[in-house]
């Protein structure tokens, strides 16, 4: 008998809960707003496919990566071996599928480590002042100037069998500086904004100012420096594997190219070396697309420039034409007769 | 003046850091390949050479770290980088000196061409924003994410093995001696064309994209609108007003990217068997020739530093604001 009552009281109780949930959702949406554009979404989808391949590689791959079939050596692509076989009769497609995991694991580990270093040093260098800021900035610049790849080669050659974590760390240590520099510049410009000053005047502790007031304004830059480091790490890893510095037990796309070159695949056995290179380029392209999307989110001029120019051209103005253009036939009397070609709307 | 002093302090600090890293690198190595090598070849290395190697690689257990460090600096200032194990115990400085001109020539030309062409294309695309020229952007992105070495291998497969237009490796024909003749110069150009082309294509995309994005931002500035309103020729607005300002960040990223360029050419030299510093470093790594590795790393780092200084000077010439900071 009393059933309706709890329901009736529950409804108003639920409503604020629901709205709270909605605001939490929309806040989450705001956090990912930088990815909500065509370029980022395209990049994320390609990346997603690679991630799925890396996770489910064991089920997708038709053969084992090192499974040898001596009856089918250096076979061109066929229905049995979609991407042909190597000189040992290994299936190239399976090698690429298994290699995806090595590339992504090292790329993302290096990206995470480098981003943590970049945020820690970059934000601190931007927030503190005086000699502390200068010395952290000098540290960043030293890492920017020291050539990364030669250093990695020298360090990696010291180890007989470097682990994945070691390779990622070395790639991260030589790759964090650019992000650190950008973050420092952005933090420095944030430091003197009113809302930070207000937070400081309110007596908020330092960690809260940095974590709650500043970091949300830095997410786009952090994301873009993360993606940038992953690109660099993927290229670095495959290059090291191709040179032969990284042990062949760590299978990735660079190792495939290493084997292809060692065993005379160039130029006749194209199915052996073309797919791996294209995969690296495709992954790099996907990550770059994500970064373009973030760039356009950070700098709206980039996003609207093309559209505005096209809109102007439709009206009969050429943006890069001579300075003043007289409209040939004013369509409405309210329109001004003479307009600057470069006028913004 | 303050600006100048700060930059000088920064370069001095970076050079010190690079040399110090170079000092500690062999001391972090596991095992002791150098002393093993020295024992194996006891009679063949002169005592002075052994002395300098001991100092360079920290084999002097009698001396403290600080003493070793001071000795190391003294050796560097006297231009002694030790002896190369893999090159018949020739002084490391001589070995490096024979490789450097090839790298500097090839990479220098390729980098400058790529920077100039890329910036020009980027300025044009930015200027003609929203037009069909925007289609260059995805193509440029693709080429900038393709790994250098793979593109080089494909280029060799197409242009030298299949078509036979260019030689696939080395800097000049086998059997000919480097000399200042027209014939030799022709060989060098023929051998260098393909590596240079792949380097340019590989790095062009970054310059195009950077310049395009800067142009689009700069073209929205009021002074560009004013320049157009004054009736200046479009070419003048493009070059003197927009591109000049947009190219400033390009210059600083040019300096910053030199480190990456060195890395890229290292692989390029491997693929094309080009006798430059990068190939030398890879050979030294496979041969475990530590004196040569250490010397090369030092020289490469210092070269990047010098290039950075040059970029700084160019920046100061182009951007009056950096000079005003001095006042």
Neighbour tally for B71: CB within 10 Å: 18
- For residue B268, the distance in angstroms to the closest alpha carbon of chain A comes to 11
Does the pLDDT of residue A340 top 60, yes or no? no
Q: Phi/psi of residue A240, each to 5°?
A: -60, -40
Whether A305 and B225 lie within 8 Å, measured CB to CB: no
Q: Is residue A15 part of a domain?
A: no
Q: Is residue A325 part of a domain?
A: no
d(CA A141, CA B309): 13
Q: What is the pLDDT of residue A338?
A: 41
Write the DSSP string, B190-231.
Answer: HHHHHHHHHHHHHHHHHHHHHHHHHHHHHHTSHHHHHHHHTT
Q: Is residue A338 part of a domain?
A: no
Residues 6+ apart with CB under 8 A from A104: A50, A51, A54
pLDDT in tens, B234-277: 888 888 888 888 888 888 777 767 666 666 678 888 888 888 88
pLDDT-derived band at A13, boundaries 50, 70, 90: very low
Whether A142 and B228 lie within 8 Å, measured CB to CB: no
Which of B149, B233, B301 lies nearest to residue A146, judging by beta carbons? Answer: B301
d(CA A173, CA B87): 32
Q: Which of B218, B285, B297 is best to mutate for the A interface (most A CBs within 10 A)?
A: B285
Whether B18 and A295 lie within 8 Å, measured CB to CB: no
Q: Is residue A285 part of a domain?
A: yes
Q: What is the pLDDT of residue A121?
A: 92
| CATH code of the domain containing A265 | 1.10.3720.10
pLDDT in tens, B287-325: 777 778 888 888 888 888 887 888 778 777 777 776 665
Q: Is residue A29 part of a domain?
A: no
Taking CB atoms within 8 Å and a gap of at least 24, the contacts of B281-289 are B281/A150, B281/A153, B282/A153, B282/A243, B283/B86, B284/B84, B284/B86, B285/A153, B285/A154, B285/A157, B285/A245, B286/A244, B287/B85, B287/B86, B288/A157, B288/B33, B288/B85, B289/B84, B289/B85, B289/B86, B289/B87
**CB-facing half-sphere around the CA of B126: CA atoms within 13 A:** 30
Which of A138, A150, A159 lies nearest to residue B262, judging by beta carbons? Answer: A150
Neighbour tally for A245: CB within 10 Å: 23
Using an 8 Å Cβ cutoff, are B308 and B11 in contact?
A: yes
From chain B residues 102-131, the ones with a CB under 8 A of any chain A CB are 127-131
- Is B64 part of the contact surface with chain A (CB cutoff 8 Å)? no
- What is the C-alpha end-to-end distance of chain A, expressed in Å? 65
Pairs of residues, one from chain A and one from chain B, whose beta carbons lie less than 8 Å apart: 182
pLDDT-derived band at B59, boundaries 50, 70, 90: low
Q: What is the pLDDT of residue A1?
A: 36
Nearest CA in chain B to A175: B260
d(CA A264, CA B140): 30
Q: What is the pLDDT of residue A323?
A: 43
Which residues form the domain of A228? 35-65+77-314
Q: What is the pLDDT of residue A153?
A: 79
Secondary structure letter of residue A327 according to DSSP: -
Using an 8 Å Cβ cutoff, are A302 and B217 in contact?
A: yes
Whether B131 and A309 lie within 8 Å, measured CB to CB: yes
Mean pLDDT check: name the lowest of A48-62, A240-254, B5-19, B21-35.
Answer: B21-35
Residues of chain A contacting B13 with CB distance shorter than 8 Å: 138, 142
Q: What is the pLDDT of residue A110?
A: 93
Does the pLDDT of residue A275 top 80, yes or no? yes
d(CA B207, CA B143): 12
pLDDT in tens, A127-145: 888 888 888 888 888 888 7
- For residue B63, the distance in angstroms to the closest alpha carbon of chain A comes to 24
Nearest CA in chain B to A235: B147
Q: Is residue A25 part of a domain?
A: no
Average pLDDT for residues A59-87, to the nearest whole number? 76
pLDDT-derived band at A114, boundaries 50, 70, 90: very high
Number of folded domains that form chain A: 1
Q: Is residue A226 part of a domain?
A: yes
pLDDT in tens, A158-195: 777 778 888 888 889 888 988 898 888 888 888 888 88
Mean pLDDT score of chain A: 78
Q: Is residue A329 part of a domain?
A: no
Using an 8 Å Cβ cutoff, are B251 and B241 in contact?
A: no
pLDDT in tens, B207-216: 898 888 888 8
């Amino acid at each position: 008998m009393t059933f309706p009552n709890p329901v009736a009281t529950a409804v108003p109780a639920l409503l604020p809960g629901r709205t709270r949930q909605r605001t939490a959702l929309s806040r989450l949406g705001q956090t990912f707003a930088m990815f909500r554009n065509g370029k980022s979404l395209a990049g994320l989808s390609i990346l997603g496919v690679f991630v799925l391949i890396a996770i489910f590689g064991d089920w997708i791959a038709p053969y084992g990566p090192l499974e040898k079939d001596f009856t089918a050596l250096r076979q061109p692509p066929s229905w049995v071996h979609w991407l042909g076989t190597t000189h040992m009769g290994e299936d190239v497609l399976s090698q690429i599928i298994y290699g995806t995991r090595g590339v992504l694991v090292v790329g993302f580990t290096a990206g995470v480590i480098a981003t943590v270093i970049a945020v820690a040093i970059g934000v601190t260098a931007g927030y503190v002042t005086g000699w502390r800021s200068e010395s952290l900035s000098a540290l960043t610049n030293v890492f920017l100037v020291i050539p990364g790849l030669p250093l990695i080669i020298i360090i990696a050659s010291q180890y007989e069998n470097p682990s994945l974590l070691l390779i990622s760390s070395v790639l991260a240590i030589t790759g964090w500086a650019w992000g650190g520099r950008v973050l420092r510049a952005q933090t420095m410009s944030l430091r003197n904004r009113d809302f930070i000053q207000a937070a400081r005047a309110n007596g908020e502790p330092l960690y809260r100012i940095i974590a709650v007031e500043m970091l949300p304004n830095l997410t786009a830059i952090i994301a873009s420096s993360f993606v940038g480091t992953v690109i660099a790490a993927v290229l670095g890893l495959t290059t090291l594997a191709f040179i032969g510095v990284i042990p062949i037990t760590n299978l990735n796309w660079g190792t495939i190219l290493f084997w292809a070159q060692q065993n005379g695949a160039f130029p006749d056995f194209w199915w052996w070396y073309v797919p791996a290179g294209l995969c690296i380029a495709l992954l790099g392209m996907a990550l770059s697309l994500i970064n373009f999307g973030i760039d356009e989110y950070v700098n709206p001029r980039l996003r609207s420039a093309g559209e505005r120019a096209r809109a102007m051209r439709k009206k009969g103005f050429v943006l890069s034409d001579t300075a003043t253009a007289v409209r040939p036939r004013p369509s409405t009397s309210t329109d001004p007769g003479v307009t600057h070609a470069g006028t913004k709307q | 003046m303050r600006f100048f002093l700060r930059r000088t302090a920064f370069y001095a600090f970076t050079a010190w850091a690079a040399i110090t890293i170079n000092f500690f690198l062999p001391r972090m190595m596991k095992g002791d390949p150098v002393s093993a090598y020295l024992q194996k070849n006891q009679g063949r290395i002169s005592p002075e050479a052994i002395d300098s190697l001991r100092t360079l690689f920290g084999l002097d257990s009698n001396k403290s770290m600080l003493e070793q460090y001071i000795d190391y600096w003294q050796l560097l200032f006297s231009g002694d980088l030790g002896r190369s194990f893999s090159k018949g115990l020739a002084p490391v400085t001589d070995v490096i000196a024979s490789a450097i001109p090839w790298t500097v020539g090839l990479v220098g030309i390729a980098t400058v061409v790529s920077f100039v062409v890329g910036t020009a294309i980027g300025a044009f695309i930015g200027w003609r924003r929203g037009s069909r020229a925007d289609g260059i952007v995805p193509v440029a992105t693709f080429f900038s994410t393709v790994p250098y070495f793979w593109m080089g291998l494909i280029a060799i497969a197409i242009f030298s093995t299949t078509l036979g237009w260019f030689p696939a490796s080395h800097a000049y024909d086998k059997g000919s001696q480097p000399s200042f003749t027209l014939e030799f110069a022709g060989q060098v150009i023929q051998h260098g064309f393909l590596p240079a082309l792949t380097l340019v294509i590989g790095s062009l995309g970054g310059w195009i994209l950077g310049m395009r994005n800067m142009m689009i931002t700069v073209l929205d500035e009021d002074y560009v609108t004013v320049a157009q309103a004054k009736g200046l020729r479009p070419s003048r607005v493009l070059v003197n007003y927009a591109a000049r300002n947009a190219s400033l960040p390009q210059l600083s990223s040019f300096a910053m990217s030199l480190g990456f360029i060195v890395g890229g050419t290292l692989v390029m030299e491997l693929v094309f068997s080009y006798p430059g510093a990068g190939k030398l470093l890879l050979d030294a790594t496979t041969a475990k020739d530590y004196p040569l590795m250490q010397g090369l790393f030092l020289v490469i780092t210092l070269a990047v530093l010098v290039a950075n200084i040059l970029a700084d000077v160019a920046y100061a010439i182009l951007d009056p604001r950096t000079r005003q900071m001095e006042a």
